[in-house]
Structure 1
Amino acid sequence: MNIFHRRRRTLAGLPVLALLIVTAGCSSSDDNDSAAVPSPDTKATGLCRNLDEALPDKVDGLSREDPEPRSALTAGWGGSAIILRCGVQRPPKMIDPKVAKGADPDAVAGGVNGVDWLMEKRDDGAYRFTTANRTAYVEVSVAKGRDSSGALIDLAGAIKKAIPEGIAD
């Protein structure tokens, strides 16, 4: 194949590439559908892989759409509406004695269907929930304006099945 022929093929593909870039830029699932992949130890990674296999196809009525980059440690439903990350670090507020006494109104502990959570309201109005009393930390972010109870109810069974009760390292 000569160079001229190769250039022609590349140039012919440019309009299609430009159209894809413009379409992706207009999409509602552009850079919001990403999630940082945690770096847990080997034990937590194994538990997180088990969780990934146990997760439901739908959460709070939304279909599963995993964020980029693809990983067994992250999952998503409804684009960026609900994002799960498994194997995250323990949140600092989880061990702060002021939180345990209810002094921090933006960090509240509670349970849903047998799974204990630390709830934190974020500056953007979204909520972040992190499991407590499990051998790996699982974080669930719920976008502003969404009722989080449906997500936590739908995820509880998979978390109980895959992540045993205990204290994460």
Structure 2
Amino acid sequence: MHLRRRRLATVLVAAGVVLAACGGPVEVDVPDLSGADREACEAFAAELPESLAEQMRVDIEPADAPAAAYGDPAIVVRCGVPTPDGFDLTASCETANGVGYFIPDEQYDDQGLDLTLTAAGYEPRVEISIPATYRPNAGPAAMAVLAPLIKAHFTLVDDCA
């Protein structure tokens, strides 16, 4: 009887490993960047933490993209994104550790929507895409952790407050 349980446990563990490997790397869009922006984004990406909002870092494709992904479904951090739709000098932002993040209006109140945070006042810009399953806590956690890196690597051009 114990041998049967041990075999079943071995089969279940092996199946879990196979299923975990089926997801593969998270595909990220790579923006077209100038030489200086690419350099800044690569330096930023090299310092991104191993975990974000209690999710561990996972592989991305392409592996050399100035980005990172965390968890499943993946929280994705991308560098060098364009100005987000709806962002202008009158847009309001949420601030964490001195960095303002633009959030599209419709995402503020509907916790069932995926969340897109953009450090829109900095160049190059950083975007954090957070699946709705991680709301409400992942947004503030990611903003606070990434703020010092954003301030260290990028230039503030518009105060998003």
How high is the TM-score relative to the length of structure 2?
Answer: 0.71
Alignment of 1:123-134 (within 5 A): 125-134=113-122
- Is the alpha carbon distance of 1:114 and 1:29 closer, same or farther for their aligned partners in structure 2, counting shifts above 3 Å? farther
Preserved contact between residue 118 and residue 126 of structure 2 (Cα < 8 Å): yes
Match of 1:112 in 2: 96
Tell me the alpha carbon deviations over residues 15-40 of structure 1, each in whole angstroms, 9 at most, x when there is no partner: xxxxxxxx4xx548637822211212
Cα deviation, residue 110, structure 1:
1.7
Deviates more, 1:144-153 or 1:63-72: 63-72
Residue segments in structure 1 that go unaligned for 5+ positions in a row: 1-22, 101-107
Q: Please tell me the residue identity of whatever aligns with 1:137.
A: R
Preserved contact between residue 31 and residue 81 of structure 2 (Cα < 8 Å): yes
Identity of aligned residues (%): 25
Tell me the alpha carbon deviations over residues 61-118 of structure 1, each in whole angstroms, 9 at most, x when there is no partner: 2221132221241111114431011001111211285xx3xxxxxxx52211111110
Match of 2:67 in 1: 74
Tell me which of 137, 154, 157 is aligned to 1:166: 157
Residue segments in structure 2 that go unaligned for 5+ positions in a row: 1-17
Match of 2:8 in 1: none
How high is the TM-score relative to the length of structure 1?
Answer: 0.68
- Larger fraction in strand: 2
Q: How many residues get paired?
A: 135
Aligned: 1:154 with 2:145: yes
Greater Rg by CA: 1
Structure 1: how far apart are the matches of 2:73 and 2:40? 23
Q: What secondary structure, in the 3-state scheme, does the structure 2 residue paired with 1:132 have? A: coil
